Amino acid sequence: MATAKELLFEIGTEEIPSVYMPDALRDLGGVTERVLREARLGFKRMRTLGTPRRLTLCVEDLADKQTDEVREVIGPPKGVAFDKAGRPTAAALGFARAQGIAMEKLKIKVTDRGEYVVAVKKTEGAKTVQVLPSLLPRIVTSLAFPKSMRWGDRSMRFVRPIRWLLAIYGGKAVAFEIEGIRSGARTYGHRFLAPKPIVVRGFKDYLAKLERAFVVVDQEKRREQVRRLVEQAARQVGGQAVIEPDLLEQVIHLVEYPNLVRGAFPEHYLSLPKELIITPMRKHQRYFPVVDKQGRLLPYFVAISNMKVKDMDVIRLGNERVLRARLADADFYFKEDQKKLPLEKLVPRLGQILFQERLGTVLDKSRRMAELAAFMAKAVDPGLEGAVRRASTLCKADFASGMIREFTELQGVMGRYYAAMSGEKPEVAAAIEEHYLPRYAGDALPKSKGGALVGIADRMDSIAGCFGIGMIPTGSEDPYALRRAALGLILILAGQELSVSLSALTQKALELLKDRITRPQADALSDIQGFLRGRSEGIMIDRGIPADVAAAVLQTGFDDIPRAFRRAQALAKAKQDPGFASMMVAFKRVANILPPDFAARVEEPRLREEAEKALWREVKALQGEVARLTDRGEYEAALKRIATLRPVVDRFFTDVLVMAKDASIRENRLALLAETASLFSRIADFRQIAAST
């Protein structure tokens, strides 16, 4: 039986794309929590579940009544509301009338601005059964999807057509209607195996009856079922399944009732590069590959079907036939491409493939990349110059191959194979594949320095070119994926610890594009720097760096990305120290008194008070040491040394009048504070750090 206060809500739909499901379930929970909170309805626990045909919500111990609402409406000041004799004025009477309460019920409240007349208004909470018919439609219409659609003659948009709505509270159906679809206590089982309507009374009853109707609503239970079935099937052929989390996530949202299909393919296809076998399996068919103990592919696959039939061999044969056709295509293109090698012979064909109308062809881009990669190699490892030039020249050549026209996901991978088959050096072949990394959030970074440099060159050329012709990403448009390019560029620099000057690299990229870009280079450079700074800040925050720390560090420069990230990590750690607040007080006392853009040198003979002489001695002693520590990247040690200034700074402000009448003395003392502030600015702009720890 349902608990007295349990809410069960299900949105039944046509099949929702699997890639939408994880976000849809999170959104369902988030939207529901917000709607219930706004409605003043408390609850104990919430669960969101789903299959391709349903989004389900269970709220445990949902309050049977809204909490009462008490609001205070502030009226006129007491002195205006009442005369000297204490009688209400027209202002008080008008306020009471407007609020709908008796004059004698007005209260006086002391605020920061003085005493004011206040009307306290209490609204009694309604029964939950009375408000749910209006709240549940709000939840449905508030859900967001990457793409939505209308169906029939309805005006509402949703990810897929809604076919039914189930809503039960306290064991009873909640009646409401959305676009002619009426809610009730009915759900539906598997589309083909148990399509008849099912009446349910609560969440436990719902789960049990649907499972008997070949629907496993709980996605986590399906996940474990799929994992168990796949692993078991692989063991039966003496192997182990390769279960990637992304593929598993897709598969569990493709089926309502997982059924095992184990298939095989002709062994002669194992002579192909493994990526040519795995890609059709994973990307196109959603199959799990099987490998032996050494990680070598076996001629088997495991698939999960949403259907259960008497003769599962029918489904197996169909899956095998589809995969054989894919592998036959891969085999054909692989053999045909080999006839066109060496890879260098494909490079001229890039002149027929347009990168961007104003920025030229892919061949033009690869030539610019070679110059950019060589420019960076000279700075970080001159011995790599030849390899990165060669890799940049060849890295897009597989665009012109038949294989990439058929399997675009294999860009770079096939370039590596074809480069190796063409006799290119291993470091060149590796860079060709690695320059695409990272492809997405959480993807691996290039392992080799050569791959990193070519990858940075590729991304910087795209960013500089598009910004140079005014194609700057907006909130809704980023056709050349420049945000992703910038994130990849920064992640590579930070991950590979490459001390490449971002400003110099950007200028070089713009110079190489000078005959093609339409904006002034200075404007493009400024915009690109701001763009890269924003991406850097986002990555820092994603890595747990407080937002104020990230902003403070980047304010003092991010030309060297690895150093900027290390400064941020050191400062974030220092901020957790109980003594950090006192150091901040010291710095802000220094910074707040300095005029903007102040510049002057300390003249030691003009220092009169012992406190200012003591501060100057400490600053001079620290300058060389802090410079050495920061040059070596030892930012934590530098911060600890700077923190020792606190007592002498406090003494300075206690004993010394900075703004002395004598202009020369005043300027000298400001110069002393500027020198003190410069120690801090080697790490960050501390003015942007929040005072609290």
Percent of the chain with pLDDT over 70: 99
**What tens digit of pLDDT does each residue of 639-659 get?**
888 888 888 888 988 898 888
Which residue bears the tokens 């011995």?
383
Residue 103 predicted with pLDDT over 90: no
Order of all β-strands in the sheet with 69-77: 69-77, 114-123, 107-111
DSSP helix/strand/coil, 118: strand
**What tens digit of pLDDT does each residue of 660-691 get?**
888 889 899 999 988 888 888 888 888 777 75
Q: What is the pLDDT of residue 2?
A: 39
Rounded Cα distance between 479 and 471, Å, is 9
**What tens digit of pLDDT does each residue of 419-445 get?**
999 999 999 999 999 999 998 878 899
Which phi and psi angles does 685 have, rounded to 5°?
-90, 95
Report the chain's mean pLDDT, rounded to a whole number. 91
Helix H or strand E encompassing 515: none
CATH for the 564-688 domain, from 2.70.98, 1.10.730, 2.60.120, 1.10.20: 1.10.730
Tell me the average pLDDT across 102-107. Answer: 85
Let me know: does 262 contact 233? Beta carbons within 8 Å: yes
Tell me the average pLDDT across 132-154. Answer: 91
Q: Hey, where are the domains in the chain?
A: 7-65+127-212, 69-123, 219-338, 357-543, 564-688
pLDDT tier at 386, thresholds 50, 70, 90: very high
pLDDT tier at 152, thresholds 50, 70, 90: confident
Tokens found for residue 508:
């070089």
Tokens found for residue 91:
């202002």
Helix H or strand E encompassing 579: none
Residue 621 predicted with pLDDT over 70: yes
Tell me the average pLDDT across 501-508. Answer: 95
Let me know: does 303 contact 317? Beta carbons within 8 Å: no
Residue 568 predicted with pLDDT over 70: yes
Tell me the average pLDDT across 336-363. Answer: 94
pLDDT tier at 593, thresholds 50, 70, 90: confident
Q: What is the pLDDT of residue 122?
A: 79
pLDDT tier at 4, thresholds 50, 70, 90: low
Question: Using CA atoms in the order 433, 435, 440, 443, what is the torsion angle rounded to 10 degrees?
Answer: 70
- Among 13-17, 355-359, 590-594, the range scoring the smallest mean pLDDT is 590-594
Q: What is the pLDDT of residue 691?
A: 59
**What tens digit of pLDDT does each residue of 203-255 get?**
999 999 999 999 999 999 999 999 999 999 999 999 999 999 999 999 999 99
Rounded Cα distance between 119 and 223, Å, is 56
Considering the entire predicted model, what is its pTM? 0.77
Residue 478 predicted with pLDDT over 50: yes
Q: What is the pLDDT of residue 3?
A: 41
CATH architecture observed for domain 357-543: Orthogonal Bundle (1.10)
Tell me the average pLDDT across 582-598. Answer: 78
Tell me the average pLDDT across 558-563. Answer: 92
pLDDT tier at 1, thresholds 50, 70, 90: very low
Helix axes 449-468, 521-542, angle to 10 degrees: 130
Looking at per-residue pLDDT, the higher value among 574 and 168 belongs to 168
Q: Which residues pair with 262 in a beta bridge?
A: 302
Q: What is the pLDDT of residue 659?
A: 87
Tell me the average pLDDT across 571-594. Answer: 79
Tell me the average pLDDT across 48-59. Answer: 96
DSSP helix/strand/coil, 41: coil
**What tens digit of pLDDT does each residue of 282-315 get?**
988 899 999 999 999 999 999 999 998 888 889 9
